[in-house]
Amino acid sequence: MIGTGYVGLVTGTCFAESGNEVVCLDVDASKVQRLRNGEIPIYEPGLEELVTRNAAAGRLQFTTSYEQAVTGARCIFICVGTPQDEDGAADLAYVRSAAEQMAPWLSENAVVVCKSTVPVGTNRQVREWISALTQTVFHSASNPEFLKEGAAIEDFTRPDRVVVGVDTDYAAETLRELYAPFLRTEKPYLVVGIESAEMIKYVANCLLATKISFINEMANICEKVGADINDVRRGIGHDSRIGFAFLFPGAGYGGSCFPKDVRAMASVAERHGGNARILRMVDETNNQQKQVLFQKLRDYFGDSLRQRTIAIWGLAFKPRTDDVREAPAITLIENLLAAGCSLRVHDPVAGQNIRRIFGDRLHYCAHHYDTCEGADAVCILTEWNEFRNPDFEVLRHHLKSPVIFDGRNLFDPHKMAARRFHYAGIGLAPLHVISPDN
C-alpha cells in the first residue's frame, strides 16, 4: 500500500485481516512511527483494533522504504492523495512520485493498482511513468474505492460490488483472488476497461452529490412556499425510481470526496471540450447551502448578532469520523467569527482537527450541554447520535433563550413548538417564534 491515508490504511488492514502479508508505505516518517506504535492517525470505528491485531500477528507492517514495500509484492496499490489544483483539477504529483519510486523494485508480473481517485487516462500515464524507468513486465489496473467514512470496515469487508479496470486477464484474475474472501455472498466482481473504472468512481460521487444539492435546493424552496421538506421527501422517496438515499436536506455536504470529485469531473469535461453545467451548478448550490444557517441566524438576531454567544454541536462533515475537510461547520464558524460572535463548540472526535484551524478563537467544550452555558442559540451541524435525544429542560436551563438552528433536521418541529423552543431547520417553517430579546 503506497500511502497510509484513509483509503490505504483501511484497505491494507482489511487485506491483512484476510490473511495476506501487507506492507504500508508512507513518506511521512513520523506517521509511520506512530502507526508502528499503534497510534491511528484517523478516527474510523473498528480500525484501531484491526491494525493492532494484524500488526501483532506480523501480517501488517509500516515503512518509509519503497524497496521494503515493493520488492516481491504481487500487487502494489497506489493510495495517495489527489488534491485539487486552482482550477479544480486533480493534482497527480503524488501519484507520479509513487509510480516513479516503485519502478526499480517491481517484481516480474506485479500488478500496479491505482486506488486513488484519478481522472480518466491516469492509469495509462502511470504505466508510462513506470515503463520509462524499468524493463520489468508488470500489469496495470484501476480499482476505485467506495468506502464511506464512519462505515469503511463494513463497506470493505461486505462490499456492494468490487470494480476493477484492467487490460489483461492476469490482472483481473489476480485481483479476483485477492478480493475473493469479501465476495462470498455473491456480490458482483465487475471487470471493465481501465478508463471505465476511472469514470465509475467519479460518476458515482457526482450523482450522489447532485442528489444532495437537489434536495437542499428543494428544501429552500419549501420554506419560501410554506411546504415541509420532510413531507415532500417522503412523498417522492417511495417512488422506486428515486428512493430515499441521499435525500436528507442539510447544511451542505463536505468531506474529502464529493467536493473534490465534482470539481475534478467538471474540469475533466471542460478540458475535453465538454460543458459541465450540471456539475458546476451542483458545486455552486452546495457552497450556497453552507451559508443557510448563518443567514437564518442573521435574520433572527439582526444587528444584535455581534454581541451573541453561539453554541455549535458537531464539527465533522458527518458522524462517525473526525474528518473536517470542507465541513459546513467551518463555513459557519468563519462567518460567525467575522460577525463578532463568541463560539462554544463540541464534537465527540473532531475537536482537535478544528483546533488546528481556528486555534484559541473558539471555546472547546467537553460535552455538548457545556456549549449551551450562557449561549443565545444552538446550531447543529453534524447528526451524531448523542445529539438526537437531548434533555430539553437542561438546554432551556443553560441557554439564555430556547433557540435552536438545526442544520440536520434532527427534531420534530411540532414537538419543538410544544416545548416552546424557537426551532429552525432546513426546509421547515418555524412553528413557534421567540423574540431574541426575550
The full set of domains in the chain, from first to last, is 6-192 (3.40.50.720), 202-248+259-288 (1.10.1040.10), 290-424 (3.40.50.720)
Cα R_g (the chain), whole angstroms: 24
Cα 418 to Cα 79: distance, rounded to the nearest angstrom: 51
DSSP code of residue 84: B
pLDDT of residue 430: 65
Residue entry with cell 524497496: 67
The answer to whether the beta carbons of residues 323 and 288 sit under 8 Å apart is: no
- CA 357 to chain CA centroid, Å, is 18
Q: Closest by alpha carbon to 68, among 116, 138, 30, 21?
A: 21
The residues annotated as belonging to the active site are 257
Q: Name the strand (E) or helix (H) holding 10.
A: helix 6-17
Instruction: Per residue of the chain (438 residues), give pLDDT as tens.
Output: 999 999 999 999 999 999 999 999 999 999 999 999 999 999 999 999 999 999 999 999 999 999 999 999 999 999 999 888 777 788 899 999 999 999 999 999 999 999 998 989 999 999 999 999 999 999 999 999 999 999 999 999 999 999 999 999 999 999 999 999 999 988 999 999 999 999 999 999 999 999 999 999 999 999 999 999 999 999 999 999 999 999 999 999 999 899 999 999 999 999 899 999 999 999 999 999 999 999 999 999 999 999 999 999 999 999 999 999 999 999 999 999 999 999 999 999 999 999 999 999 999 999 999 999 999 999 999 999 999 999 999 999 999 999 999 999 999 999 999 999 999 999 997 676 677 766
pLDDT of residue 191: 98
The model's pTM is 0.91
- What are the residues whose beta carbons fall under 8 Å from the beta carbon of 378, sequence distance 6 or more? 310, 311, 312, 313, 371, 372, 395, 399, 403, 404, 405
Locate 109 and state its grid cell.
Answer: 508480473
Give me the phi and psi of 199, to 5 degrees please. Answer: -75, -35
The answer to whether the beta carbons of residues 383 and 314 sit under 8 Å apart is: yes
Locate 126 and state its grid cell.
Answer: 502511470
The answer to whether the beta carbons of residues 399 and 372 sit under 8 Å apart is: yes
Residue entry with cell 465527540: 348
How many Cα atoms occupy the beta-carbon half-sphere of 265 within 13 Å?
A: 27
Locate 1 and state its grid cell.
Answer: 500500500
Q: How close are the terminal C-alpha atoms of the chain, in Å?
A: 59
